[in-house]
């Protein structure tokens, strides 16, 4: 078992900087997820660790060993790809045993490891089948089993669930989490799906344009995003954003947009009063926008008016897509609510759970104000 360290790692393809000064310490036995949109550099970071790409500068360490110049087969890692990459002419057993045979592992040891991995993954009855006789989920488990039998120090998983249907993704996601708990090995998992990241990770590194924007636990990322990108990327539906200004008047602090004004509670106004007159972005998550009739008791609220644009009935909740001025936002309201398209409605914001980002300096990715 081992920790993993990226020490000021850069990766360039020609003049294009794909990874920019990555500094990341992954603890032994940790489940760390690299998450971000396509092209952010997360898979490249994984491939550099695996030895499939050379770093332009900086060092990558597995444990205390710098692995920059060590060949992939000697790094003691195992990688599971988005494509299953199984040999179609081999049985499940032979696919799982192939890497061990290449290393001239004794036959008895191969049988023991493959049978143990098959039992862990529920593949005991499938060992003599060929890949074409398996479902997508079973093939993905075989790919995982091929990695498990090697007993690596680090597991690398590059979007392993992307080829599965929605129900199977949820099931396999749970299996991978249980597998990590059983094996007690370092897992580094790459995905663009923030739901996968939130449900599986001990910590999440959110990447954008080759830079780690924030490294934190799932709950802290959700509750205390460092900047606008992290706030908008983590959470489904995404956080609502409104262009606004801070206004201080008679000792009170307000957020003023083109279509509504809300008052900041007294216990938080000192944080935002220095931004009087500045352009900011006001953020609030859909679950903190309520139907006043079913608003949770005891919270501080501010009321706004909006027009219902789209209604999504989800059974246990309702998503209202509303317009206020020229801005669309989403409210996740109580399922007992009754609305119709084009209704003019009153909604309330939970003013104990809003976010403000200072757009006066950085227009592209403003930092959170705390």
Say whether both 323 and 206 belong to one domain.
no
Q: Which of 228, 236, 241 is nearest to 329 (CA)?
A: 241
Report residue 173's pLDDT band, with 50, 70 and 90 as the boundaries. Answer: confident
- Same-domain status, 279 and 335: yes
Greater pLDDT, 286 or 184: 286
Q: Are 99 and 69 part of one and the same domain?
A: yes
Q: How confident is the model at residue 47 (pLDDT cuts 50, 70, 90)?
A: very high
Domains: count for the chain: 2
d(CA 363, CA 228): 10
Predicted confidence (pLDDT) at residue 212 exceeds the cutoff of 90: yes
Which of 233, 259, 280 finishes a domain?
Answer: 233
> Has residue 1 got a pLDDT over 70?
no
Same-domain pairing of 74 and 223:
yes
Q: Torsion angle of alpha carbons 249, 251, 255, 256, nearest 10°?
A: -10
Q: What is the pLDDT of residues 83-93, one digit of tens each?
A: 778 899 999 99
pLDDT (tens digit per residue) in 4-44: 999 999 999 999 999 999 999 999 999 999 999 999 999 99
Tell me the CB-side half-sphere exposure of residue 370, using CA atoms within 13 A.
Answer: 8
pLDDT of residue 120: 80
Neighbouring residues of 167: CB distance < 8 A, sequence distance ≥ 6: none
342 and 268, same domain (yes or no): yes
Please compute the mean of the pLDDT values over residues 61-88 and round it to a whole number: 90
CA 127 to chain centre: 33
Quote the domain boundaries for residue 50. Answer: 4-233
Say yes or no: 52 and 173 in one domain.
yes
- Please say whether the beta carbons of 146 and 157 come within 8 A: no
Q: What is the pLDDT of residue 178?
A: 86
Average pLDDT, the chain: 92
Among 71-75, 159-163, 216-220, the range scoring the smallest mean pLDDT is: 159-163
User: Structure tokens of 143?
Assistant: 């790919």
CA–CA distance, 32 with 20 (Å, rounded to integer) = 19
Question: 9 and 58 in contact (C-beta within 8 Å)?
Answer: yes
One domain for residues 318 and 211: no
Assign residue 337 the CATH number of its domain.
2.40.50.140
Give the CA count within 13 Å in the CB-facing half-sphere of 139.
21
pLDDT at 162: 79
Q: Are residues 229 and 264 in the same domain?
A: no
Domain harbouring 71, CATH code: 3.40.50.300
Mean pLDDT of 150-167: 85
Q: Mark whether 228 and 245 lie in a shared domain.
A: no
- Last residue of one domain, picked from the residues 191, 211, 233: 233
Regarding whether 102 and 140 lie in a shared domain, the answer is yes
What are the tens digits of pLDDT across the range 281-340? Answer: 999 999 999 999 999 999 999 999 999 999 999 999 999 999 999 999 999 999 999 999
Which pTM was predicted?
Answer: 0.90
Query: Residue 30 to residues 44, 63, 148: CA-CA distances in angstroms?
Result: 20, 13, 16
Q: Of the residues 199, 233, 267, which one is the last residue of a structural domain?
A: 233
Considering the domain architecture, whether residues 156 and 278 belong to the same structural domain is answered as no
| Domain match, 206 and 346 both | no
């Amino acid at each position: 078992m081992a920790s993993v360290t990226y020490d000021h790692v850069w990766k360039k393809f020609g003049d294009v900087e794909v990874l920019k000064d990555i500094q990341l310490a992954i603890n032994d036995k940790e489940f760390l997820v690299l998450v971000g949109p396509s092209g952010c550099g997360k898979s490249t970071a994984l491939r550099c660790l695996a030895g499939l790409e050379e770093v332009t500068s900086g060092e990558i360490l597995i444990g205390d060993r710098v692995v920059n110049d060590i060949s992939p087969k000697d790094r003691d890692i195992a990688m599971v790809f988005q494509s299953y990459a199984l040999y179609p002419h081999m049985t499940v057993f032979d696919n799982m045993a192939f890497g061990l045979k290449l290393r001239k592992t004794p036959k008895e040891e191969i049988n023991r490891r493959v049978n143990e991995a098959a039992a862990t993954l529920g593949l005991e009855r499938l060992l003599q089948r060929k890949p074409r006789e398996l479902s997508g989920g079973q093939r993905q488990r075989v790919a995982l089993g091929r990695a498990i039998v090697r007993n690596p120090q680090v597991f690398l998983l590059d979007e392993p669930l992307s080829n599965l249907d929605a129900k199977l993704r949820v099931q396999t996601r749970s299996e991978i989490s249980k597998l990590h708990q059983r094996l007690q090995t370092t897992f580094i998992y790459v995905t663009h799906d923030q739901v996968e990241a939130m449900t599986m990770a001990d910590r999440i590194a959110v990447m954008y344009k080759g830079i780690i924007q924030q490294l934190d636990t799932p709950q802290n990322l959700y509750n205390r995003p460092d900047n606008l990108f992290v706030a908008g990327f983590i959470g489904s539906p995404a956080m609502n954003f409104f262009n606004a200004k801070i206004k201080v008047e008679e000792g009170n602090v307000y957020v003023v947009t083109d279509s509504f004004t809300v008052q900041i509670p007294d216990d938080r106004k000192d944080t935002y009063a220095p931004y009087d007159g500045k352009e900011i972005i006001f953020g609030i998550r859909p679950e903190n926008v309520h139907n006043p009739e079913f608003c949770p008791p005891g919270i501080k609220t501010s009321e706004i008016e909006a027009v219902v644009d789209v209604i999504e009935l989800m059974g246990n909740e309702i998503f209202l897509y509303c317009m206020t001025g020229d801005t669309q936002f989403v409210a996740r309201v109580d399922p007992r609510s009754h609305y119709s398209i084009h209704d003019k409605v009153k909604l309330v914001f939970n003013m104990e759970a809003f976010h403000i980002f200072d757009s006066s300096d950085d227009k592209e990715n403003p930092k959170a104000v705390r």
